[in-house]
Every structure is written in structure tokens, then in C-alpha cells.
């Protein structure tokens, strides 16, 4: 960022997370959407962020072992 005016791409970068979280005010959302309509640079980065979230979510899942599942079930209160 240089000078005193806010670079619109910098502003759009700041809005990326709350935009995808649907956590922007109506006014901020319109600012982001207006900018995205005309800016391929930011559009690509927004699309990437969406894919990244999905990727991380899937990549870090490690299924629970069947042994642990059995152990948890054994912790149940025995039926008299």
C-alpha cells in the first residue's frame, strides 16, 4: 500500500474472510461484490480461498480407530 488512498484490492483482501463467513454488513458486502465484478485478480484469490477451506477440511481428517470406538462403548454404564 502506498499513498493515502486505500488500494481497492487491499481493501478487498481485508474483506475476504468475513465475506466468505457471511459476516459483512450490507455496505461492505456491496463494496466487495462491486470490486470482484471488475477484478479478476481478486476474484481468483476469493475462489482459491473457498477451495482452500474445503481442501484443509478434508486433508486434516483422520478417522477414529475401531479400537477407540469399542473402548468408548465399553465406558457405558452397565445395564443391571
Partner 1 sequence: MGETAPETDARRLAEDARDRVRFEEEALELADQVYRVARRMVSSREEAEDLMQETYARAFRSWRSFQPGTNLRAWLLRILTNLNIDRGRRVQRAPDMQPLEEGDYFLYNKLEESTQAPNPDEERVIERLSQDDAVSALSAVPHDFRDAIVLVDIGDFSYNDAAQILDIPVGTVMSRLHRGRRILKRELAERAVADGGDVT
| Footprint on this chain of partner 1 (rule: CB under 8 A) | 10, 13-14, 16-17, 23, 44-45, 47-49, 51-53, 55-57, 59-65, 68-69, 71-73, 75-77, 79
Question: Within 10 A of 31 (CB to CB), how many other CB atoms are there?
Answer: 17
Minimum CB separation of residue 41 from partner 1 in Å reads 9
User: Which residue number, 35 or 45, has a Cβ lying nearer to partner 1?
Assistant: 45
Residue 11 near residue 35 (C-beta atoms within 8 A): yes
CA distance 80 to 77: 9
User: Which residue number, 25 or 51, has a Cβ lying nearer to partner 1?
Assistant: 51
Amino acid at each position: 500500500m502506498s499513498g493515502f488512498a486505500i488500494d481497492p484490492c487491499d481493501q478487498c483482501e481485508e474483506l475476504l474472510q468475513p465475506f466468505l463467513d457471511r459476516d459483512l454488513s450490507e455496505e461492505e458486502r456491496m463494496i466487495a461484490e462491486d470490486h470482484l465484478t471488475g477484478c479478476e485478480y481478486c476474484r481468483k484469490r476469493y475462489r482459491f480461498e473457498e477451495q482452500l477451506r474445503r481442501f484443509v477440511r478434508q486433508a486434516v481428517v483422520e478417522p477414529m480407530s475401531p479400537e477407540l470406538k469399542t473402548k468408548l462403548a465399553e465406558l457405558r454404564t452397565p445395564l443391571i
